[in-house]
Every structure is written in C-alpha cells, then in structure tokens.
C-alpha cells in the first residue's frame, strides 16, 4: 500500500485504514513527569514517581510516592505525648488529598476513574512506639474537571510525624 508509513490522519480512497493508526506505536511505556501541586502540606523530601504503560487509548499508571506532612521539630520533654505541627487538624477532616499533576500525554478521558491504593503508615521517631501500619487509600482522576490532576486520598488525616509510603496502579482511558 503506497504511503503506509506517512504521518497524518488521511485515509486512502477505497481503503479501510487510517495512516495515523498504522504508523503510530500502539504500546509505549516510560516514566512520566509528575509534581505535587499542594507541596506546602509536605516536606521537601516528599516525592511521587509515575511509571506508565499505554496501549492505544488505555493507560496503566504505577504510582510510587512518599508523603511526609509538614511538621515543626518536636519540642516535647521525655514522657510528653504532645507534638507541634503546622496546619489545622480536626476529627471532621479525616481525609487528606495529595494532588499530583501528570504529564499531558497521560490525560484522562472525560470520565471519573477511581481505585484503591495501598498506603504504609510509619510513625517516626517522636513516638515511643515507632511502628508500621497499612491503610487503604483512594486514587482517582476526573477527566471532566481536570484530565491531568491525580488525587491521592489518605483516610488518616495525614497526621504529622508520620511518613506515608504509597504504591499502587490505576488503569483508565486516555484522550
């Protein structure tokens, strides 16, 4: 077929294929650019890396993030259970969201995609009992409101002096 390797969205008369679909790779993978947009809530060593596998119009994102809420240094005395932190905390706001801006190549279709995600909650050295617990978080992307904004919701209120290690996969339809 003449011109099968040409770029563009043109169809040849009498044929049933579109050149753009033949010459473009159907599956690509890599590491995507991602930034935490509400970074003031987290320390500078917090990060989020996103690896993707894209098969035509389906995207599989693997998210690996370490979120450390911004805290002031611990100033308590021995056997004191209080701690000082920045920001507000109330029991009515038990969910906190980390907003992750994705590369535009991973823009979501105009639907809402959501799945659960594993979160390891590590209590740091200000606590007498430093331990690791696991909670389920939620990750979602809403292609109608903002197709490149990924939201990670943790149901613990993002307590200070904790480190949240988040990993999981979300699969959604892209533009």
Taking only the tens place, the pLDDT of each residue in 52-75 is: 999 888 999 999 999 887 765 545
Report residue 2 as tokens. 């003449």
User: What confidence tier does 163 reach under pLDDT thresholds 50, 70, 90?
Assistant: confident
| pLDDT score at 63 | 93
Would you say 161 and 127 are in contact if contact means Cβ atoms under 8 Å apart?
yes
Report the run of H or E that residue 153 belongs to, with start and end: strand 149-154
Entry pTM: 0.71
| pLDDT score at 97 | 81
User: What confidence tier does 81 reach under pLDDT thresholds 50, 70, 90?
Assistant: low
Over the stretch 3-35, which tens digit does the pLDDT of each residue have?
454 444 455 555 555 555 555 567 888 888 888
Segment 24-52 shows an average pLDDT of 84
Positive or negative, the Cα torsion across 9, 12, 15, 19? negative
Question: What are the φ/ψ torsions at residue 92 (nearest 5 degrees)?
Answer: -80, -20
Q: Domains of the chain (ranges plus CATH)?
A: 25-173 (2.60.90)
């Amino acid at each position: 077929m003449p011109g099968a390797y040409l770029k563009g969205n043109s169809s040849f008369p009498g044929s049933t294929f579109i050149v753009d679909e033949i010459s473009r790779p159907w599956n690509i993978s890599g590491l995507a650019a991602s930034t935490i947009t509400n970074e003031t809530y987290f320390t500078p060593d917090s990060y989020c890396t996103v690896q993707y596998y894209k098969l035509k119009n389906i995207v599989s994102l693997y998210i690996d993030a370490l979120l450390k809420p911004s805290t002031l240094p611990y100033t308590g005395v021995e056997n004191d259970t209080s701690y000082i932190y920045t920001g507000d905390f109330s029991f009515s706001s038990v969910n906190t969201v980390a907003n992750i801006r994705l590369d535009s190549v991973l823009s979501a279709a105009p639907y809402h995609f959501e799945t659960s995600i594993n979160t390891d909650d590590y209590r740091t050295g200000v606590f007498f009992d430093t331990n690791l617990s696991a909670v389920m978080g939620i990750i979602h992307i809403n292609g109608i409101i903002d197709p490149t904004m990924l939201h990670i919701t943790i149901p613990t209120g993002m307590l200070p002096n904790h480190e949240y290690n988040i990993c999981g996969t979300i699969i959604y339809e892209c533009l």
